Each structure stands twice: as structure tokens, then as C-alpha cells.
Structure 1
Amino acid sequence: MSYNKTPSITAETINQKVRIFTYEPCGEIVRHARRLEKEIYENPGSLPFQEIIYCNLGNPQALGQRPINFFREVLSLCDNPSLIDRDEARALFSQCALKRARKIIESLPGRDSGCYTSSQGVRSLREAVADGIAARDGFPSKADNIFLTDGASSAINMMMQILIRSHEDGILCPLPEYPLYSASIVLHGGTMVPYNLTEDSGWMLEIFEVKRCLEEARASGLTIRAMVVINPGNPTGQVLSITNQEEIVEFCRKEGLVILADEVYQENVYTENKRFNSFKKVARSLGYDHNDLSIVSFHSVSMGYYGECGRRGGYMEICGFGDDVIDEIYKLASLTICPNIAGQILISLVMDPPKLGDQSFEVFTDEKEEVYSSLLKRAKALQKAFSSLEGVSCNKFEGAMYLFPRLRLPQAAIKAAQLDGVSPDVFYAHRLLGATGIAVVPGSGFHPVSGTSHIRCTILPGVEKVAAMVPRLQAFHEAFMDEFRG
């Protein structure tokens, strides 16, 4: 009997859109780091460092950030409701957590955290999120416009599926960008239309640049459906001014574009002269309602002071879409049945945390402030370290969880990178990892302006690790520059 010995699937026969996109935060540098980690485990002392310091992802708890007690208490009780009425529970859990958990459990299907829920999320949890948005912005929010999701990423992918019909549909995205956007646009068959942020002005968005990109894209035959804005910025860490946001709102209203507002770092603003304002708040403050402008905002439990990345909790608020479109989004959400229940619970807690007068408020506030002060201390130390390096400049840290320093490397280093078949930033990042165990992300993975080299470094490693990183980083960079300077 003969049979076909050809593999049924190969890299050449899979969906080629998967092969086209890249996601550098988990790319080759990280794979190299995992190999080095294995080498450390199997052959202790074989490398000039004892551990890998992962600065590639915003993954707070993996890098030492402690979870918020109130959140964990409520999650534990929701998964173990029989504890709530036991006498010992009052000694182990705050009354605040017991009360909140009891309320949540009563709203769950079957009063159990293991059941499917509505594809849009449990209504009472959506109401908590809507109330939190209203309290934050000072404008009403409706539970019917809230979709609870498995983190912000699944919501962003869902909106790309809704908006993109063919390669003739374009989405305006900032450069540097978080590569989830370019990847999801490619996967769904659309066209990314980049607009450049201005590094020399602190990575600010210039509206004339966006207009130029829009006009060029339309002239080429594209239909521009939406504009992505990441605020606070990733990977760049800037916080948009209210004037800048007003310009964006006016522009998108005039041009008929949906604003896709990535606001997952809204709790991470560290500059005294700026604060976070949601795009919905800005639009409503200008007098525009759902009839004037469409806005989809995204938030997540992964960042902020909570850092619960693995819980995969998030939401999107959809404003300015008709009921018929909302119905189609619901149908799309139904393909995964429902978002995970732990994430749903956690995003409701994030948007409705303990208030003044609650038993848990003081401990909650202390924990939150401890996270903020630690992040700011680390950011200042790393920013100072990068800025002290020869040929490196680093914009002021304003928000989010990253620094995005620019490298001006010697020509000899650039030529060495070319001989290796890689970009200069990839070359530098590999050398940095091999010499120090510090894993950063090459800036080219975020598609900055052509001809520039950057690296993205998360500020999350603990204070002690940052203190250990700085002299290693400085010694490496000095040796690197000496090697290639002449």
C-alpha cells in the first residue's frame, strides 16, 4: 500500500499572514534569553551572570510586584463561597472583601465562579465597570455599552475583525507602536497606515502629521476606518496633553474615524503637570455625544498598580455605535462563549475599589502608593542610567511602564550588525543579553522612524535588581563603545 509521505502542513502551507507579522516583545531576544536560562540551570557558573533579568514585558508580578490584598481576598472567596459564612473567615478576610464577594457570587450564574456567563460579561460586573467609568470621567456610562474581555488584547482583535473588510481598509496607528496593532491588522487582512510620533518633542502626536498620512492613504485608494491612540504611550511612555487630545477628537469627528483608545496605562501617570483624561471624557467635554463621534476605549487589569497580567481581565466601552452593530459585536464575542470569570471579577474590582470609609480602604491605599513610589524610583534610576551613557538619549518618563532610549552607535557597530544580517538595535540587544543577562526589546520591533535605533526597557524589575542592573549596563555599554569606536 502506498501513501503520501508529504507533510500535511508546513510553514509554506499555513496561513501566510501568520508568518508576515512579528511580535518582538516575545521574539528572538527572549528566545535567546530562555536558552541562556537553561544554560545557567544546567551548567552553573558557565556564564558571567547568575540570572536573566527580563525587561521585555510589562509583567509586574513576575518581576516582584506584590498583588493587592483586597483583590486577592475577593477572588479567593468567589472561588470558595463556602468560606464566607464560616466563623474563621472573619479573622482571615476583611469585612469589605466578604461583603463584596457575597454580592458578586449572588450575581453569578448558578452562584458559582465555574459557570459560563453572558458573552458580554456578567451584567452586575459590567454595571460596576460603567459606574467606575462615570465616576472617573464625570459623564454617564451604560452597562449595555461595556464588553468584558480576556484582557485588552482580545478586545482589540475583536474590533479589528469588526472594522476591517479587506486590504483596502486602513487603520491609522502611531509609530513607534505596540506591535499587537500591526499584527492584528495583518491577520485580519487590513492595511496599517502609520503616523509618526515626534521624538524631539517627547513623543508627542502632531495632528498635521496624522492629516498628511490620512490624505496620502486616501489618495492611494484606501478607506480609513479608525485611528489608534495609545495614551499613556507604549513603548514611548508619553502622556498626551488635553489640547492634543482635543485636536484628535476634532480630527476624527471631522473625518468620520473611529477612535480606538488604548488606555490600559491610565493608572500609570507620573508627571506632576499632566493627568490621564479618557478620550470619551474629552469628547463629552467638547459637547460631542454618541451621535457625533464613535469611540472604543480599552482597559486591562494587567498594568496599573494591580499588575494582574495572568488573570486576563479587561473591558472595552463602545460609544457611538448603533444597536445593530452592538448586536454583531455580541455575536462575535459569543464565538468564545464568554470571557473568563476571574478576569471579569477583577476588572470590576479595579473600576470599583475600596472607598473612603471602607474597612479595606487604608490598607488598599497604602499598597497602591507603595507600588507607585517604587515604580517612580526605579524609572528615575534607569532613566538617569541610560541618559549617562555615551551616544544614548532618553526622553523624560511620564507614564506607562517603559523607557525607550535612543542609541547612536558607532559606524563600526552598524557595519558589524549588517554583516550579521540584523539591525543595529538587535545587534546591541543580543550583545547586552550575552554580557549581562539583561533582556530588553529591540526598538525596531515597534517600528520607529527609519534609520533610528532604540531599545525598550520595562521599569518593573525590583529596586534591588535595578540597582544591580545599572552598573552592569554601564560597564557593558562602555566596553561596547570602546570595541567599536575606532
Structure 2
Amino acid sequence: MSAIRFGNLSVFAVAARSNLKGRPWLSVKHACAINAGQGNYKGQIRCKVLAIDSMNPHVKKIEYAVRGPIVIRAGELEKELQQGKKKKFNSIVRANIGDCHATGQEPLIFLRQVLALCLYPQLMQDSSFPDDAKQRASRFLSACGGNSVGAYSDSAGVSVVREDIAKYISERDGVPANPDDIYLGTGASDGIRNVLKLLMTTKDGNGRAGVMIPIPQYPLYTATLSEYNAYPINYYLDESSNWSLSTDELKRAISEAKPHCKPKAICVINPGNPTGQVLTRKNIEDIIKFAHEENLFIMADEVYQHNVYAEGSKFHSFKKIMMEMGSPYNELELASFMSTSKGYMGECGLRGGYVELVNLDPDVIVQFRKALSAKLCCAVTGQAAMNVVVNPPKPGEPSYELFQQQKNTVLDQLKEKGKMMSDMFNSIDGITCNPVQGAMYAFPKIDIPKKAVEAAQAKGIAADALYCFSLLEETGMCVVPGSGFGQKEGTWHFRTTILPPVQQLKEMLSKFGDFHSKFLDTYS
């Protein structure tokens, strides 16, 4: 075996001089670590500045289940199918992520027409483009530098988009909104991260910022809190009551967390991801009262506000309820988030989103704007898409009927698929699923035999991860284990989207019962 050499010094020589004789397995990484610790042979060995032991430890804690190992395995299986390898299935059904267009949803024609005109203004001369699309594109471009989407926008976003968002919020809530409180971002996730960053304390121990998050939750929150070294304060949604929440649970969670952190904010996802519930007005009022009592900043993730399906369910924005409750609740600090990625639009790849900031200290707003300016601006094309979402065709305009038809078709199909999915899961012994009231997901609870739990422990994975890996290998269905979202100890779940086309969804669900029975038989 030959030694790797650096100048006149081999790795084995480093080992010898580092009192590690007789260890021929010593790697360059080990040698670098040794020298980094002892300060020997400076300049002799060029080591990586960033190594797994020297990188930011908080980044290593980040986990993001919806793009985790099961999804990686799904990609490998897709390649194997393309290479002609025989499987028990003909294709992978990707039900792991809320990516509407990837599962076959057609783009809204009007939105894409406006984008096309913004990107290539010469199309204004094309008579096949409707006048209302041309009017919106012209108005948007007139607010862009040089009338081009290729120019930077203001760090907060293009002015006319912020004006239209404020008008949209005012009409939705019956409460005035100010364009100066609106900030465009790269999807809702960008705004969420930017606001969370403001709330951090940079301290350790009981001085760490604590942020209340629902369990189950969207993994963006735990990932971001890990990266920022914040303390997650988990409050559990009540599965037995259709994933509602109680003030008693909020009080329990914050009381147990206070010795370990400084609680700063409460995050709420409504309609829910991954649970698909829609909060009642009373639930929202209770949360607002609790936030006032505990002096918490409210972060309202409302990206699914158009996705409400269940009879009797209705979306209420936190801002609307907070303002209607009057003093002192209407003085609470609030951030509300919206996106082009969900709703009936499904424009995930365009990365359009905004945050409305309410009742923030003006000095904090100055700092927030400063931080945004360091990023220059978010994608201008995403801002153009958001502009269409908040300023769609109006009655009497040439595109109105087609736009409404496309919008209603998407939402009606999601409603149908949500009911189809929950009904099917509830028809299988050992699986229970709350009604899909809103959003784009079902979060069924599965009974997993003790033998399967033990088999999963032997593999070093959660029992529901074993279940989801088995489902993928047997049927080609890619879903995400509930352990990636958080769940009550001793319970097991998985999250699936309701996005695949109706026919594909029927085929997927028809296979599910057979798989579940086989899984139980294997581990009974």
C-alpha cells in the first residue's frame, strides 16, 4: 500500500509523528484533524477548511422529510424502470410533496399569458392574447426598471404588486391593508425564514428563542429552527377532534418550555399541512387570546387559504379575526404568509410569495428592510405571478369565464380526491383518517405490529419509515412517514398528497389495501 504524499511528508509519516504508528487505515481526513488539533507541520498538508467536524453544527441538524431518503430511493427506482428493470409496478407515484404541476395539473392559461407577455413584450402585438392579459402585463412592466423583468425590483417588491396585494387583503378581510406592510419573497418559505431570523436571540440555554410549532408540522419550521439554533416548543394538535387545538395544550407546551428558552412566537398553519384541517373561528380566537396572554408574536402560515373543501369549513385570516376582536388583541404583532405555489395555481417553480407584517415596531421594520436589501430582490417573474393571483380577471373581462372554469375545476377535483382518499383509508382495517377539510394532504394513522416496530428499530429507522419504504418497493407509491412531521409518541402516520389525477389516484388506492394486508401478515 502506497502512502499519499503532501510535499515531502506522507500521511503515514504524519501518523508516525502523531503517535499513531501501526494504523495504516489513517485517512487524509484523520491526518488533517490531527494536525489541526496539534498545530504541527504547518504548511505541509493542505486540509479542507470545511470538513464535517468543522462546519456549522446547526446545519447538520437540519432534516427535511418531504425530500428525504424515501424520495431519494423513489428517484433510484425511476431510473431503474427507465433502464428496463422489472418491478412490481410500472411507474412511481410521487405523493410526497405538494407539487401540483408535477402531478399533471394544467397551468392557468391567463397567468401564463401574463407571464409570457412580461417576458417577451413583443407579444403585445399578437392578437391571440386577450386585452386583460396585455393590460396587466403592461401595468406590471411599467413599474419595472427599463420596463423589463430583467431589472432588479425594490427589495420589498414591485410597487404595483404590493398595491394589488394590499387591495386583495382588504377585500378578503374587510380590514384595510397598507402596501408598505407587504414584502414579496421567494415563496412563502423565504418570508417565514426572514421573520424567524428577526426573532432569534443568538443565546444558548434558557436565553434561546423559543418558537411554538404545531405537531404534526411542516418540516420547514423544525429545519429552520435547527439552523437558527432556536428552541422548538411543540404543541400537539388533537387528532381525535379533527386536528383541532386547545388552550390547555398550548399552556402545557409553553409551561414546560420556559425553563429551557425564552418563548417569542407561535406558528400556526391554517389550513393545515400535513393534517388538512381548517381551524374554526373559535380556535383562532383562542390562539390570539393565548398569544396576548403570553406576549407572543403570531406567525400565520395561510398559503392554503383557497384550499377549503369540507361543508361548514371556512377560511378566516388571523388578521381579520384579530382586528374584529378589538383592543387589546388588534395590537398584537402578526406576520401572515401567502404563496403562488398552492391554492388553485400550483405555480411552485415560480417561487412567488409575500408576507404582510402587522403592528411591528417601526425601528424593527427599518432593520427588516435593511436585511432584505442585502439580498437585492426576489425573482421578478415570481412577483408577476403573484400579481395575477391577487388581481385575477374580473367579471366582464375577456379572460374571466375561462379563468373561473379552470380555477373551479382544480378546486372541485381536489375536493373529490380528498374525500375519495379519506373514505378509502377509513375502509381499511388498521388505518384511520380524518376528513380532508382543506390544503392538499391526508395524514392517516396506521396500526403497526410490534414485530414491525422491532424490525424498524433493528434498521435504525422509525416504524412508519419502514412502512413507507415497503410501500414504495412493493407498489411504487412514494409517501412520507409521519415521523418526519412529528406525532404523538406511540402513534404512526404517513402524509400523502391528494394531487395525482383522479384515475391514477383510484389505481393507487386500489393497491393500498392489498399492500397493507400483506404488511400486517408479514409482521404479525
TM-score range, shorter chain: over 0.9
Structure number with greater Rg is 2
Q: In structure 2, what is the Cα distance between the partners aligned to 1:410 and 1:254?
A: 43
Q: Answer yes or no: is 1:387 the counterpart of 2:433.
A: no
1:300 Cα offset (Å) = 0.4
Residues 262-341 of structure 1 correspond to what in structure 2 (within 5 A)? 262-288=301-327, 292-341=331-380
Letter in 2 for 1:152: A
The aligned counterpart of 1:443 is: 482
Counterpart of 2:411 (choices 367, 372, 381) is 372
Shift of 1:290: 8.7
Output the CA distance in 2 between the equivalents of 1:288 and 1:460.
42
Could you say what secondary structure the match of 1:453 adopts? Answer: coil
2:243 is the alignment partner of 1:203: yes
Provide the aligned length of Structure 1 versus Structure 2.
479
Find out whether 1:482 has 2:518 as its counterpart: no
> Which residue of structure 1 lines up, in the alignment, with residue 73 of structure 2?
32
CA RMSD, aligned part only?
A: 1.3
1:132-182 CA deviation, whole Å, 9 max, x = no partner?
A: 010110000001000000001111111111101134210011111111111
Query: Which residue pairs with 1:19 in the alignment?
Result: 60
CA distance in structure 2 between the partners assigned to 1:23 and 1:317 by the alignment = 26
Which residue matches 2:45? 4
Paired AA for residue 317 in structure 1? E
Contact 2:289/2:329, CA 8 A, preserved across alignment:
no
Q: Does structure 1 residue 72 correspond to structure 2 residue 108?
A: no
Q: 1:214 offset after TM fit, Å? A: 1.5
Partners of 1:347 and 1:100 lie apart in 2 by: 12
After TM superposition, the score normalised by the length of structure 1 is: 0.96
Counterpart mapping for 1:41-440 below 5 A: 41-42=82-83, 44-84=84-124, 86=125, 89-90=126-127, 92-166=128-202, 167=204, 168-218=208-258, 220-288=259-327, 292-440=331-479
Tell which deviates more after alignment, 56-65 or 470-479.
Answer: 470-479
1:45 Cα deviation after fit: 4.3
TM-score, normalised by the number of residues in structure 2: 0.89
- Shifted more, 97-106 versus 136-145: the winner is 97-106
The CA deviation at 1:5 is 5.2
Q: Deviations over 1:252-300 (max 9, x none)?
A: 1222111000000000000120110100000011114897211100000
TM superposition shift of 1:99: 1.1
Following superposition, the deviation at residue 22 of structure 1 comes to 0.8
Shift of 1:18: 1.3
Q: Relative to 1, partners in 2 of residues 1:290 and 1:312: Cα closer, same or farther, differing over 3 Å?
A: farther
In structure 1, list runs of 5 or more residues that go unmatched: none
Contact 2:322 2:330 (8 Å CA) reproduced: no
Deviations, residues 337-371 of structure 1 (Å, cap 9, x unaligned):
10100111111211111112222111111001110
Identify unmatched segments of 5+ residues in structure 2.
1-6, 9-43
Larger RCO (alpha carbons 8 Å, 6+ apart): 1
Question: Could you tell me which amino acid in structure 2 is paired with residue 118 of structure 1?
Answer: D
The one-letter code matched in structure 1 to 2:413 is S
On the 8 A contact 1:290/1:321 being kept in 2, the answer is: no
Q: Is the 8 A contact 2:156 2:183 kept in 1?
A: yes
1:216 CA drift (Å): 2.3
Mapped to 2, the partners of 1:384 and 1:183 lie a distance apart of: 32
Contact 1:290 1:320 in 2 (8 A): no
Out of 410-419 and 167-176, give the one that drifted further: 410-419
CA distance in 2, matches of 1:18, 1:288: 41
Task: State the Cα distance separating 1:451 from its structure 2 match.
Answer: 1.5
Q: Aligned runs of 1:448-463 on 2, under 5 Å?
A: 448-463=487-502
Tell me how far apart the structure 1 counterparts of residues 447 and 72 of structure 2 sit (CA, whole Å). 26
Contact 2:443 2:493 in 1 (8 A): yes
2:37 corresponding residue in structure 1: none
Query: 4+ runs of 1 displaced by more than 3 Å?
Result: 5-8, 288-291
Identity of aligned residues (%): 39
User: Equivalents in 1 of 2:389, 2:322: separation in Å?
Assistant: 24
Contact 1:235 1:402 in 2 (8 A): yes
Is the CA contact 1:424–1:453 (under 8 Å) kept in the aligned structure 2? yes
Report how far residue 335 of structure 1 moved.
2.0
The range that moved more, 296-305 or 373-382, is: 373-382
